Amino acid sequence: MSGCLFCQIAQGERPSHTIFAGDGEMAFLDIFPCAPGHTLVIPRQHYATLSDMPPEEVGRLFQAAAMVAAKVQGALGAAGFNLGINNGKAAGQEVFHVHIHIIPRYPGDGGGSMKSVAHFKGKENLEAIAAKLRPAFASP
Ligand code: AMP
Ligand code: ZN
């Protein structure tokens, strides 16, 4: 898609620190890393968000991300990693070409878990929420 930063990277029209170049997916270093080795994994084809992707492509993207994350962790001697997607503006998405963040984690790096991305302090009625959600999974 013309004007898309990550399409330009995928097509080699914009420089990137690419570490993995597959046919359908690729991985490159985040230009503003929040940890050493912070990596982004993208499909070469343009989809704005995860919700726009066909399921088979989602599968391939996550397989690539798991493979890249394991290699990044091993090569950098990280102790673990967070893997996540900012899906939609409300979730902090800034580049609307779907990408998975791999954030290597190191002992004492001061970061939190994925639960630190939101700060809900209320009390949920879990059964009421579950009852609201289950119909979405019922077969037609
Ligand atoms: P998000 O908020 O999930 O859309 O994150 C977009 C990410 O892309 C941010 O972490 C940016 O640092 C990163 N980013 C933006 N431009 C580039 C670029 N040209 N090369 C690599 N990473 C980039
Ligand atoms: Zn794109």
Residues designated as active site: 99
Helix (H) or strand (E) holding 55: helix 55-76
| Shortest-distance atom of ligand 1 to CA 101 | 3
Average pLDDT over the chain reads 97
CA distances, 33 to each of 86, 99, 134 (Å): 15, 14, 38
Q: What pTM does this model have?
A: 0.96
User: What would the two tokens of residue 127 be?
Assistant: 């059964």
- Flag whether pLDDT at 140 surpasses 90: no
User: Given a cut of 90, is residue 10 above it in pLDDT?
Assistant: yes
Here the tokens at position 40 are 């982004």
Ligand 1 neighbour 91 (Cβ under 6 A): no
- CB contact at 8 A, 79 and 66: no
**What is the pLDDT at residue 123?**
87
Show Cβ contacts of residue 126 under 8 Å, excluding neighbours closer than 6 positions: none
Mean pLDDT computed over 55-77: 98
From the CA of 16, give the closest atom in ligand 1: 20
Which residue type does 37 have? G
Its CATH class, for the domain covering 5-138, is alpha beta
8 Å CB contact between 68 and 27: yes
pLDDT in tens, 95-109: 999 999 999 999 999
Domain range summary for the chain, segments of one domain joined by +:
5-138
Ligand closest to the CA atom of residue 84: 1
